[in-house]
Amino acid sequence: MPTSKGCTVCLLRPFFEIEKFYPTAYKVVVDYRNWLVTQIHGLLLTVKPAALIEDAHMFLFAIDGAMVQLLSKEETDERDKLLDYFLRKLSEY
């Protein structure tokens, strides 16, 4: 349920609750995310040899946000624009 502090609190709360109540699951998620960042960094290095690990984190952050937006049921036009933009950028490489 949203609070006066905003949706950020709502989004982060389950993450910390998972760490507290399900430490093994939390470790799996953290390990997977670290592995994924490493894989993305490797792919970015093939396009830009000077790519930093921070670039991989930013790329994953952008993909996370895009997926949330694409999966939302609101603003279909925006989802279509986002998907078209993402596919167009992928085709540039």
State pLDDT tens for residues 21-72. 999 988 998 899 999 999 999 999 998 899 999 999 988 888 888 777 777 7
Domain ranges for the chain, please list them.
7-91
Please return the burial class of 26, using the count of CB atoms within 10 Å of its CB with bins 0-12, 13-18 and 19+: middle
Per mean pLDDT, which range of 4-13, 46-55, 71-80 is the poorest?
A: 4-13
Asked if residue 5 has pLDDT above 50, the reply is: no
pLDDT at 42: 97
Measured in degrees and rounded to the nearest 5, phi and psi for residue 63 equal -65, -40
Task: Work out the end-to-end distance of the chain between its first and last CA atoms, rounded to an integer number of angstroms.
Answer: 42
